[in-house]
Amino acid sequence: MEKKQIIEKRKPPIASIGTIGWIKGNLFSTWYNSLFTLLGIYILYSIIPPIVQWGIIDAVWSGEDRTVCEWYDENKVKYRAGACWLYIKVWFNFFSYGFYPDAEQWRVNLTFIILAISIALFFIPNFKKKHYIGIFLFVGYPIIAFFLLSGNETLGLHHIPTHKWGGAFLTLLLGGIGIVFALPLGIVLALGRRSQLPVVRALCIMFIEFWRGIPLITVLFFASVMFPLFVPQGVDIDTLLRCIVGLTIFGGAYMAEVVRGGLQALPKGQYEAAQAVGLGYWRMMGLIIMPQALRIVIPGIVNTFIGLFKDTTLVAIISLMDLLLAVFTSQANPDWMGFPFEGYIFIAMCYWIFCFSLSRYSLRVENKLMVAHQR
């Protein structure tokens, strides 16, 4: 009988493992894949080095005024360095706070710090008193924020009228308030639209379809330009408030349809089971239906949030000095004209950071809640 010997293990051929194997298998497996790979490398090669050269290597990071970014020789020939990040640095305060007076900017910072701390406490696992923080965030915090930002002479805080609010602060404020209030409004409207009561249902459908049917620009124009003409002279509702109400209603109408999608995704059995154990309408919705429905539509909700946040740039057309308009306006300063690209890149990065963290956070929430559906 022949002895069966175990052949010693040999390494696979070098061309099929490791980096080389991966490259061969994925990038150069066929002639057209090779072609696309080379094309891709060429495109990256022609795009990335100039961007790095302009944005980092040749860029100006410090200095006194624009002459370090752009200067003329004796023949009036203009020379330009790379990106002028000095422009962002000089205007950073303006981009952050708009016309909010320097001496009072700590109030804005404090408002955001309080918010950050309460949210952080909210996310500490096993922290028992979470419902107090929730109540504080929805009831106490808006009041504190209002007095801090707007001011109150008896508290010794100077009044800062809202037309001085601006920059990234205003963008976050508009986006934040819009997001926070659009969701409850959306839930109420979604429930109303599925209500058995014909009047409630008709009103909700009319409301949702009206606001979804008109563009946000129209809403903002109406709030800003038309509204003052319809109220008597003495009645003066703040432009910013009018605009926030407009944004919230607009966001709420979209949110309502997202939530309704979640409600319709639940099988009828859930409603019947809840009724069978004797729950009334509100407890059925609060304990059984909503927790499931909202969980399903988290991606849709976050989509609407991000959309609403980015839509806040439209307030620029009604003269609220949000981040975008603050950058445009700074470009009108004769001493700093001519750096719009740096400004656009800065805006894009601000928005990207905020929207990306929002979407990351929503993924986390989703994973945490989707225990039963995890694949």
The verdict on 102 binding other proteins (CB under 8 A) reads yes
Q: Which amino acid is at 227?
A: F
Of the candidate spans 42-50, 90-98, 183-191, 202-210, the one that interacts with other proteins by CB under 8 A turns out to be: 90-98
Site string for other proteins, 182-211 (x = CB under 8 A): ------------------------------
Distance of closest approach, residue 91 Cβ to other proteins, in angstroms: 5
Rounded to whole angstroms, the Cα distance separating 91 from 326 reads 9
The verdict on 98 binding other proteins (CB under 8 A) reads yes
Nearer Cβ to other proteins, position 80 or 212?
A: 80
Rounded to whole angstroms, the Cα distance separating 162 from 181 reads 20
Of the candidate spans 39-47, 147-155, 263-271, 321-329, the one that interacts with other proteins by CB under 8 A turns out to be: 321-329
The verdict on 90 binding other proteins (CB under 8 A) reads yes
The verdict on 232 binding other proteins (CB under 8 A) reads yes
Among 224, 248, 304, 312, binds other proteins (CB under 8 A): 224
Site string for other proteins, 324-353 (x = CB under 8 A): -x--xxxxxxxxxxx-x-------------
Binding residues (CB under 8 A) for other proteins: these are 75-78, 80, 90-91, 93-94, 97-102, 161, 163, 221, 224-226, 228-234, 239, 316-319, 321, 325, 328-338, 340
